[in-house]
Amino acid sequence: MSEKAVNGGAPRCGKVLTLDTMNQNVRRVEYAVRGPMVQRAVEIAEELKTGVKKPFTEVIKANIGDAHAMGQKPITFLRQVLALCAYPALLDNDEFPEDAKKRARCILDGCGGQSIGAYSTSQGIECIRKDVARFIERRDGGVPCHHDDIYLSTGASDAIVTMLKLLVCGEGRERTGIMISIPQYPLYSAALAELGAVEIDYYLDEDKCWSMDVKELRRALHAAREHCRPRALCIINPGNPTGQVQSRECIEDVIRFVKEEKLLLMADEVYQDNVYADGCEFHSFKKVLFEMGPEFSSVVELVSFHSTSKCYMGECGFRGGYMEVVNLDPEVKAQLSKLVSVRLCAPVSGQALMAVVVNPPQPGEPSYATFTKERAAVLANLAEKAKLTEEMFNNVPGFRCNPVQGAMYTFPRITIPQKAIDQAKAEGQAPDQLYCMKLLETTGICLVPGSGFGQREGTYHFRMTILPPTEKLKYVLEKIKEFNRQFLQDYS
């Protein structure tokens, strides 16, 4: 038998799945936060283990907002409740406080067989969704929230992708367009590429501390309508990678914009506790929407997202999250429920963690003092490091760093000499990727180039988390300053 004549003429020894025959949308997916820079960082860490000599002794992964990997200690109460849920025999142990046991019993009562090892309903454990609804009502000053509008998810990312799946449809000029900020968190561009949707970029104003301007939203929207059908606007507040906190006035402008232009609004609010700068305050889009009155609150379709991975918790690995849907068509909600059921349910351990996050110790309970002290310490430390990072970077020649108002990243603009730009282009890479790769090879510090998040043409940035312990953060900032001095000299 010849090599051909198998599978319609394909060589018998050939692969069914190749780069040419695979889903081409997947090939277009890029996720800079875990891209080539991180892959090289992993290789260097392995080289260090085998005794390869480097001008540094460790790789510092400042590329991702992973608080516990950077040394942040877990909040005691959160882990106590999770330990009790994972091993209920501990409920008889006198070392655990009664308020932790009370929450664990409540969570276990909502689980099949009273075990977090059982599947939950696809939308999430009902008693936890009720706790989430009460949390949102408290946060938003009494604005009503119903647990049937809450969907527990595998982190916020899973919920965001699920909503994008519901939105994307059409072909050609009718293909769905989704508005995302530039700079953006690469989850959005990656998901849109995978779904074959049209990415509509709108630029944040770096000169005004990465603020949002409705005029820029309109520019991007009207330009996009020439080649696609815009259907949703995505906003990250507080911002990632830019660390800005949008003002209430800005949020009101955005709500008016989406109502007028008939867009669904997706509000990524996973950093809502991470606000540091004087004069800044987190305003949820839902609270502002309802305070603007029925003209807006009865018609604007809003989906907001939260997570256990950020804020003071930093519990990334548990993959806990939720989304709340407001004014979603009931028939679409039924389709959403069907879609989430395909994945059975979010991790029940993550659901349990979310239950504790939205129902923390209250005054008078035994764990209240310790919990509030630990929470305040984490947030105060982040605020201190946000200020330190801004001040030190603004003393680096060629750097310009906006205040880190919130979240847990800085996104400074850097100067790259023309000689380095030319070399990067000759090597087929972005200039800020060349910069970050040389920084990694020289210092062991792993950052993400700004080109992975999007940036205005002719500007260069990188994203760095402010999560390392203070002394290590000072070391990182000092090493970047030294490297930058040498880089500018080498390429002058």
CATH code where residue 387 lies: 3.90.1150.10
Q: ∠ CA(71), CA(72), CA(77), 5° rounding?
A: 140
| 343 in a structural domain | yes
| 14 in a structural domain | no
CA–CA separation, 96 and 282 (whole Å): 34
Buried b (16+ CB within 10 A) or exposed e, 81-118: bbebbeebebeeeeebbebbbebbbbbbebbeeeebee
170: its two tokens? 């059409």
Instruction: Indicate whether 29 pLDDT > 70.
Output: no
Q: Please answer whether residues 286 and 304 qualify as being in contact, where contact means their C-beta atoms are separated by less than 8 angstroms.
A: yes
CA–CA separation, 292 and 140 (whole Å): 13
What does each C-alpha distance from 324 to 63, 137, 155 come to in angstroms? Answer: 29, 12, 13
Alpha helices (runs of H) in 243-312, residue ranges in sequence order: 248-261, 285-291, 294-297
What does each C-alpha distance from 44 to 22, 63, 257, 487 come to in angstroms? Answer: 31, 15, 48, 21
173: its two tokens? 């000029």
Buried b (16+ CB within 10 A) or exposed e, 378-390: bbebbbebbebbb
| 145 in a structural domain | yes
Question: Over the stretch 204-214, which tens digit does the pLDDT of each residue have?
Answer: 999 998 999 99
**What's the pLDDT score for residue 246?**
92
**What's the pLDDT score for residue 355?**
95
CA–CA separation, 447 and 444 (whole Å): 10
Among the candidates 306, 331, 357, a domain finishes at 357
**What's the pLDDT score for residue 184?**
87
171 and 201 belong to one structural domain: yes
212 and 321 belong to one structural domain: yes
CA–CA separation, 61 and 446 (whole Å): 5
CA–CA separation, 118 and 297 (whole Å): 38
Provide mean pLDDT across the span 290-319.
92
| 26 in a structural domain | no
For the chain, give the percent of residues with pLDDT over 90: 62
Closest-CA residue to 68 (of 487, 467, 471): 467
Cα Rg, the chain, nearest whole Å: 24
136 and 196 belong to one structural domain: yes
| 317 in a structural domain | yes
- Dihedral of CA atoms 410, 324, 203, 247 in degrees, nearest 10, equals -70
123 and 199 belong to one structural domain: yes
User: Residue 88 half-sphere exposure, CB side, CA atoms within 13 Å?
Assistant: 14
Three-class SS of residue 351?
A: helix
**What's the pLDDT score for residue 16?**
77
Least confident piece of the model among 23-27, 302-306, 362-366, 395-399: 23-27
User: Residue 453 half-sphere exposure, CB side, CA atoms within 13 Å?
Assistant: 31
Question: Over the stretch 412-467, which tens digit does the pLDDT of each residue have?
Answer: 999 999 999 999 999 988 999 999 999 999 999 999 989 888 889 889 999 999 99
What does each C-alpha distance from 477 to 59, 439, 447, 473 come to in angstroms? Answer: 14, 12, 12, 6
| 149 in a structural domain | yes
Instruction: Indicate whether 2 pLDDT > 70.
Output: no
Among the candidates 303, 325, 357, a domain finishes at 357
Distance of CA 373 to the CA centre of its chain: 26
| 133 in a structural domain | yes
227: its two tokens? 């080649």
61 and 209 belong to one structural domain: no
Give the pLDDT band of residue 4 (cuts 50, 70, 90): very low
| 159 in a structural domain | yes
Distance of CA 230 to the CA centre of its chain: 23
Bond prior to 241 in cis (omega within 30° of 0)? yes
CA–CA separation, 126 and 134 (whole Å): 12
Distance of CA 443 to the CA centre of its chain: 27
- Element housing 373 (H / E): helix 368-393
How many domains does the chain fold into?
2
The domain spanning residue 307 has which CATH number? 3.40.640.10
The DSSP output letter for 429 is S
Q: Which residue has the tokens 């936060």?
A: 33
269 and 384 belong to one structural domain: no
Closest-CA residue to 410 (of 230, 296, 239, 294): 239
Three-class SS of residue 95?
A: coil
Q: Please answer whether residues 423 and 433 qualify as being in contact, where contact means their C-beta atoms are separated by less than 8 angstroms.
A: no
Those residues whose C-beta lies under 8 Å from the C-beta of residue 142, and which sit 6 or more positions away, are none
**What's the pLDDT score for residue 119?**
85
152 and 219 belong to one structural domain: yes
457 and 486 belong to one structural domain: yes
Question: Over the stretch 218-270, which tens digit does the pLDDT of each residue have?
Answer: 999 999 999 999 999 999 999 998 989 999 999 999 999 999 999 999 999 99
The DSSP output letter for 275 is B
Among the candidates 296, 323, 357, a domain finishes at 357
What residues are paired with 304 via a beta bridge?
Answer: 267, 324
242 and 376 belong to one structural domain: no
Would you tell me the crossing angle of helices 186-195 and 155-167 to the nearest 10 degrees? 40
165 and 244 belong to one structural domain: yes
CA–CA separation, 475 and 456 (whole Å): 30
Q: ∠ CA(76), CA(474), CA(436), 5° rounding?
A: 105
For the chain, give the percent of residues with pLDDT over 70: 95
292 and 260 belong to one structural domain: yes
Provide mean pLDDT across the span 311-336.
90
220 and 334 belong to one structural domain: yes
Q: Which domain holds residue 387?
A: 31-71+372-490
Q: Please answer whether residues 253 and 218 qualify as being in contact, where contact means their C-beta atoms are separated by less than 8 angstroms.
A: no
Pairing of strands 409-410, 60-61: unpaired
